[in-house]
Structure 1
Amino acid sequence: MGQLGRILLVASGKGGAGKSTFSVNCGTELSRRGRKVLLIDGDAGLRSLDLMLAVSDKALFDIGDIFASRCETEKAIIQTNRPNLFLLPAPQSNCEYLADSEAVGRLCSELARTFDYIIIDSPAGVGDYVTAPAPVADCVIVVANTEPVSIRSAERLAQIMRMKGAKNLRLVLNRVDAKLIRKNNLPDLDAAIDGTTVQLIGIVPEDKRVTAATATGEPLTKGRAATAFKNIAARLEGEYVPLMKL
C-alpha cells in the first residue's frame, strides 16, 4: 500500500441495532472490491464475529494476547473463508487495554500499514471500551434503528464521540421496516436522521436473509439488504450512489 489504511469505528448507543452484522457485511463488501480488510472484535467477553464468520475453531489467540505480549500480532489474525477479509478476535474475558485510547491507537496505527480498512466492531453503549478508538478513527459509523429509543441513544453516542475526539461521523439506519413507517408506527426517515444529529451514509432495509446468513456464517449475496451494504461500501470508497428506495 502506498498509504495507511482507513480506520472505521462501528458503534451503537443501544444493543440490538445490528452493529456487528453491519461490520461483517460492510467488511465483506469492501473485501469484494479487492480491499484488504481487517475486522477487529472489540467486545471483550461477548465476542461474536468469529461465530458470524464461522472461524471459531481458528481463534487460538486474540487481541488481548497481543496487548499482553503473549503472541505476535500476525499470529492472532485469522484469514476468513472470504477473500481479503481477516479477523482479530476479542478476548473471552475483560481486557482493560481495549479501554485505553493510547494502546488501541498504537495497535491500529501498526495494522493500518498492512490493511486497506480496519473495521472495529465496538461493544454497545457509550463507555470507554466504545470510545477508546475515537481519536484515531477516520470515520465513526453510528448504527441505529428507527425506534425512538435507538435514535435517542445514537444522538447521545454521537455527542460523546465528538467529545472524545471523533471528527467524522456517519449514520447507518439499519433494519428499516418501510411498512411500519408508512403506518406511522415508527418515525419517518427524515425525523430519525435529524434526531441523531449525524449525516446519513446508508439505509439497510429489514431482510430475513441477513439473519439466515449470520446464523450459518455464509456471506450475504442476495436481497435488498445485500444491495444496501454494497452501496455503503461504495460510498465509503468515495463513489456517488443514490439512496435505495424503500
Structure 2
Amino acid sequence: MRMRRPGRWLLGRLRPGRLRWGWPRTRRGQRRAVQGVMLACVAGLAPATWMYTVADARVRTVADAPAQQVAVVFGAGLWQGRPSPYLANRLRTAAELYRDGKVKVVLVTGDNSREEYDEPEAMRTFLRERGVPDRRIVSDYAGFDTWDSCVRAKKIFGVDRAVLVTQGFHVRRAIALCRTAGIDAYGVGVDAVHDATWYYGGTREVFAAGKAALDALFKPDPHFLGPRESGVDRALAADGE
C-alpha cells in the first residue's frame, strides 16, 4: 500500500481559492466575534484614553502657560544640520516663553548618538540666534525618545517642574510621561507645519500611545542614564550674575 506524503492532504486544502474566511454562521460564533472586535478596539484605544485623561487639562498656550523655571524642548530631527520645521517651531515657542519671562532656563533634549548628528547643539544655536543667552540653555545629549528625555530631565538634571514644548499632537504624551517620571509638567502645544503633517502626527500618536503606556507601567531606565549633572542648577544660579 503506497503511503501519501506527509502534509499532502493539508497542502491540497490550502491551495489558492480553497481556503475560505467568513463571518461565523452560528449566533454563538457571531457573539464571540463581536466581543473579540470590541475587546481589540478597547485595548487599542486604552493607552490614548489614559494619555488624554492624565494630560489634557495641562495643555496650555504661550499666553496662559504657568511660570516655571525650566522649559523642556524635545528634539524633532535636523535638516542639513539645522532644526527641521517641526523643531524650529518648538524652539521659537521656547524663545518666546523665555522673552515673556515664563521660564528662566531652556533644556534642549535630543539625539547625539553619532558624531556627525548633534540635535542639542543645533537647538542651542537656533535659540541663541533668537535672543536666548547661551548661559540659559542646557543640553541633554541622550534624549533618544520622549521617555528617555523625561527621565533624564528628572534624574540627571534635577528638574521637578517644567513647561514642555512640542507639537500639539505630541504634547499630551510628553506631559503624561514626564508626570510619570516625577515632573510636575504642563505643556505648550505648538502648531504643526501644515494640516497634512498634523493628521500624520495624530495618527502616529495613536500607535505611540501604546509604547508610552508600557513605559509608564514598567518605567524602564533610559538608554543612557549616567551621573547627575548640574547644568540646570548653574543656569538658574546665573540670575545673580
Fold equivalence (TM over 0.5)? no
Q: TM-score scaled to structure 1, two decimals?
A: 0.34
Which structure has more RCO (C-alpha within 8 Å, separation ≥ 6)? 1
Bigger radius of gyration among the two: 2
- Structure with the higher fraction of residues in helix conformation: 2
